[in-house]
């Protein structure tokens, strides 16, 4: 059935009653179709919010015209069908769903409390009703039947009356006990939710993507944890199900031995949950007893704040009257108990259309395709953009301009496109292809081997990367420009005062003093730090340029091997590969950086601004006085800082390590040396003081 039919655009002829009759029939057909997709095929075509909207429309029509109510209406039953591949299980106590409160504000909880008090004929003078407040998990409802303490059957909800026997698959879930303690009744049916944690879901999809990349047929990634969990439970091969990481929470019970047969006697719902917990069933820690409407509202709001930090998905909370005698008194209406309600949060998935696909450039040069959307209200905000992550992901989801898509937003997470509604795609929608050049600076855009992301090669020239480039250049381990923090960098770049790194060395006192949170004294200090930074070392300067994949250690190896910056700038990839710590990816990154004319221009501009460093002839590592020596620094040195000591030692060929082992040549211990000194003494590693360090720096080995 086409989702194009969802919106009922075609006018219906005849009287108002005839139109309502036709619309009710259409809605019943649509809801049956989408319930089948959701519950049976585990392949939903609609976000929950759209299904709920159609369901409420049918409810309203049936309420206004009782003659439209049919026995087969989705409002009269729990959705779902049994797959032929599984044996059918008749639920002795029906697994009915509970009513959904779609008013996501506090008034939704207040309305439920008011209905309960009215049904119980409580006056304003009577105490507040106590409720159990639970999470509404986004998983698959499950019934677990135990006889004489052993798990004998696990069944899905199915249509509420008849479910599917999935015992073999459920046995693979580690959280579900296979045997109960002797205190448990001879017959007990526990009900709860099978779900998949978010981290487990991500690992599963990573594995699926690896299998797809390896060419394994029939593999696919999953849209969300709920679908992945449902698909795992319905695997015909329990060996495959065992590979899928599933979890379980208990929240109720069904068939059970009577008190006369040794069954439990509970007064409250919360007491029952605690008993189930004592028998080994996981019960969510957030499950709470609350009083009255205020308690319900408080729980709803608290869980809304904590929702995105939970390790699993929820789409609302559930309220249940705590006293079991009151539950019995309240009873049921049609398909749902009067004593419980599910209180939803604003929808986190909605349907909209893709107006265009733009490419954004991040501060590190990453190119990210972003779908520009027709505005849609989802997750509590109006969304107009959704990330497509990278070209591979955009191709995998096959998102195109003009597509109707389902968009998800959770908390502060950037909205993303979940899937495309293919039968609404325009015939001429072009496939997305990543551009070959940066949309900001025009530099070449490349995707390195083994990576998913394209990146701008503009480096220092690209304005989108400029702030990151300046901040990195000023870093303590690079040019060490004290006082040039990220907030000041943002101002200087935004105001156009710094367009290249060389502009830093042309800043004026009055310009700096006029910046937010900058006084004249701070400006003077920064100018002094800039002047001091002009006397650099070649490794620090190389590291400060921010060449992709070139860290401190690689910069030092390059300086040692080539001796001069100009030699590095013209070195071929083959020549670069002769440097220790440089592989094909790093060599290609260095060559690409210096092949860009604008990067060479920035280097020359920095030289013209007065930056200099000591250069010399290339020195083979084996000729260096401390080649093969490994040193560990610990404690506070008197003669110099540890960073300076590290630089001088490495310039002489030594390796400076952060941990002590049998391979350590020396440990240099200053004041208040800690566990590294203790370990050196235990291993018999020579320990040096400041005088011993001075000998090392002269090239002598104590």
Higher local confidence (pLDDT), 237 or 265: 265
Most confident segment among 192-196, 461-465, 653-657 = 192-196
Confidence at residue 79, expressed as pLDDT on a 0 to 100 scale: 45
Mean pLDDT calculated for residue range 646-674: 84
- For the cut 80, the answer to whether the pLDDT of residue 102 exceeds it is no
- Average pLDDT of the residues in 75-100: 75
pLDDT of residue 14 exceeding 60, the answer is: no
Distance CA 244, CA 32 (A): 29
User: What per-residue confidence (pLDDT) applies to 225?
Assistant: 87
Say how many CA atoms lie within 13 Å of 59 toward its Cβ.
Answer: 13
Copy the structure tokens of residue 408.
């998800």
**2-11, 297-306, 371-380, 463-472: which range is least confident on average?**
2-11
Whats the size of the chain, residue-wise?
702
Q: Is it the case that residue 29 has pLDDT exceeding 60?
A: yes
Q: What's the pLDDT score for residue 660?
A: 87
> Using an 8 Å Cβ cutoff, are 412 and 400 in contact?
no
Which pLDDT score is estimated for 473? 93
Does 530 have pLDDT greater than 70?
Answer: yes
**Cα–Cα separations (whole angstroms), residue 698 to 653, 687, 689:** 12, 17, 15
- Going through 380-527 in order, the beta strands assigned E by DSSP cover 381-387, 404-408, 416-420, 445-447, 454-456
CA 339 to chain centre: 36
- 3-76 classified as CATH 1.20.1070.10: no
As a whole number, mean pLDDT of residues 79-103 equals 79
Identify the pLDDT of residue 15: 63
The rounded radius of gyration (Å) of the Cα atoms in the chain is 34
Superfamily of 621-697 according to CATH: BRCT domain (3.40.50.10190)
pLDDT for position 8: 38
Annotated catalytic residue: which of 70, 118, 136, 701?
136
What angle do helix axes 552-562 and 642-651 make, rounded to 10 degrees? 40
- 100-344 placed in CATH 3.30.470.30: yes
Q: Indicate the DSSP class of residue 666.
A: E
Strands (E), 116-267: 130-137, 140-147, 150-156, 162-164, 187-195, 247-256
Q: What's the mean pLDDT in 487-495?
A: 90
Residue 11 pLDDT: 41
Per-residue model confidence as pLDDT tens digits over 387-409: 898 888 888 889 999 999 999 87
The C-alpha atoms of residue 222 and residue 236 are separated, in whole angstroms, by 18
Instruction: Domain 349-424: give its CATH code.
Output: 2.40.50.140
Residue 412's pLDDT is 52
Q: DSSP code of 676? A: H
Of 185-199, 537-551, 673-687, the poorest mean pLDDT is in 673-687
The residue-averaged pLDDT of 324-351 equals 89
Instruction: Report whether pLDDT(450) > 50.
Output: yes
The separation between CA 464 and the C-alpha centre of its own chain, rounded to angstroms, equals: 25
| pLDDT range class, residue 4, cuts 50, 70, 90 | very low
For residue 277, pLDDT beyond 80? yes
136 is catalytic: yes
Kindly report, residue by residue over 576-631, the tens digit of the pLDDT: 998 877 888 899 989 999 998 888 999 999 999 999 998 876 655 556 788 778 89
pLDDT beyond 60 at 81:
no
Look at residues 268, 326, 321, 270 and name the one whose alpha carbon lies nearest to residue 292.
Answer: 321
What are the E-state strand segments in 36-139? 88-90, 100-101, 130-137
pLDDT at 381 over 90: no
What would the mean pLDDT of 433-438 be, rounded to a whole number?
Answer: 92
Rounded to the nearest integer, the mean pLDDT of the chain is: 87
User: Taking the domains of the chain in order of start, what are their residue ranges?
Assistant: 3-76, 100-344, 349-424, 459-613, 621-697
CATH, domain range 459-613: 1.10.150.20
Sign of the Cα pseudo-torsion (432, 436, 440, 446, in order) = positive
Candidate ranges 13-17, 500-504, 632-636, 671-675; pick with highest mean pLDDT: 500-504
Please give the pLDDT value at position 619. Answer: 54
């Amino acid at each position: 059935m086409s989702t194009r039919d969802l919106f009922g655009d075609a006018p219906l002829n005849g009287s108002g009653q005839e139109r309502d009759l036709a619309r009710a029939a259409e809605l019943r057909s649509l809801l049956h179709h989408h319930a089948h997709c959701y519950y049976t095929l585990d392949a939903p075509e609609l976000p929950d919010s759209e299904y709920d909207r159609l369901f409420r429309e049918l409810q309203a029509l049936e309420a206004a015209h009782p003659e439209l109510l049919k026995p087969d209406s989705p409002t009269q039953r729990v959705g779902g069908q049994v797959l032929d591949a599984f044996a059918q299980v008749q639920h002795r106590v029906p697994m009915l769903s509970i009513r959904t409160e779609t008013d996501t504000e506090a008034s939704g909880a207040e309305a439920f409390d008011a209905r309960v008090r009215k049904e119980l004929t409580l006056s304003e003078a009577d105490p507040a009703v106590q409720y159990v407040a639970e999470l509404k998990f986004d998983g698959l409802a499950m019934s677990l039947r135990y006889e004489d303490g052993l798990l004998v059957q696990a069944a899905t909800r199915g249509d509420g009356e008849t479910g599917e026997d999935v015992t073999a698959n459920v046995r693979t879930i580690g959280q579900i006990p296979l045997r109960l303690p002797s205190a448990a009744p001879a017959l007990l049916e526990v009900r709860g939710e099978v779900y998949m944690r978010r981290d487990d879901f991500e690992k599963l999809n990573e594995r699926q993507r690896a299998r797809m990349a390896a060419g394994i047929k029939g593999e696919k990634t999953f849209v969300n944890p709920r679908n992945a969990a449902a698909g795992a439970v319905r695997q015909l091969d329990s060996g495959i199900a065992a590979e899928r990481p599933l979890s379980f929470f208990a929240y109720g019970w069904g068939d059970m031995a009577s008190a006369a047969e040794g069954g439990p006697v509970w007064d409250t719902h919360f007491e029952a949950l605690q008993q189930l917990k004592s028998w080994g069933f996981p019960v969510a820690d957030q499950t709470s007893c609350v009083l009255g409407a205020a308690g319900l509202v408080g729980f709803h709001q608290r869980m809304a704040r904590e929702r995105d930090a939970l390790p699993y998905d929820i789409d609302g909370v559930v309220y249940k009257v705590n006293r079991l005698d009151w539950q019995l008194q309240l009873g049921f209406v049609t398909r749902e108990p009067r004593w419980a309600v599910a209180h939803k949060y604003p929808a986190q998935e909605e349907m909209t259309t893709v107006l265009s696909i733009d490419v954004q450039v991040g501060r590190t040069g990453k190119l990210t395709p972003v779908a520009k959307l027709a505005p849609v209200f989802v997750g509590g905000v109006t969304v107009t953009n959704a990330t497509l992550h990278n070209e591979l992901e955009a191709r995998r989801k096959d998102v195109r301009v003009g597509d109707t898509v389902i968009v998800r937003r959770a908390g502060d997470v950037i909205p993303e496109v979940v899937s495309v509604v293919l039968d609404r795609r325009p015939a001429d929608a072009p496939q997305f292809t990543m551009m070959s050049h940066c949309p900001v600076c025009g530099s070449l855009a490349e995707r390195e081997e083994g990576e998913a992301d394209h990146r701008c090669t503009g480096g220092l020239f690209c304005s989108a990367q400029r702030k990151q480039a300046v901040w990195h250049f000023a870093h303590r381990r690079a040019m060490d420009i004290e006082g040039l923090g990220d907030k000041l960098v943002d101002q200087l770049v935004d105001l156009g005062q710094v367009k290249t790194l060389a502009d830093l060395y042309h800043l004026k006192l009055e310009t700096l003093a006029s910046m937010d949170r900058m006084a004249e004294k701070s400006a003077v200090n920064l100018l002094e730090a800039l002047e001091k930074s002009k006397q650099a070392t070649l490794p620090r300067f190389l590291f400060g340029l921010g060449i992709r994949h070139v860290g401190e250690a690689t910069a030092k190896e390059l300086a040692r091997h080539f001796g001069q910056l100009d030699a590095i700038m013209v070195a071929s990839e083959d020549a670069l590969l002769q440097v220790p710590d440089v592989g094909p990816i790093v060599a290609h990154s260095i060559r690409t950086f210096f092949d860009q004319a604008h990067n060479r221009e920035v280097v020359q501009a920095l030289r013209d601004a007065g930056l200099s460093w000591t250069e010399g002839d290339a020195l083979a590592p084996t000729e260096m006085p401390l080649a093969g020596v490994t040193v560990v620094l610990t404690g506070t040195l008197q003669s110099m800082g540890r960073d300076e000591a590290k630089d001088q030692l490495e310039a002489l060929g030594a390796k400076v390590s952060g941990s002590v082992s049998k391979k350590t040549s020396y440990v240099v211990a200053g004041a208040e040396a800690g566990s590294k000194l203790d370990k050196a003494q235990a291993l018999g590693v020579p320990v040096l003081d400041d005088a011993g360090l001075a000998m090392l720096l002269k090239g002598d080995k104590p």
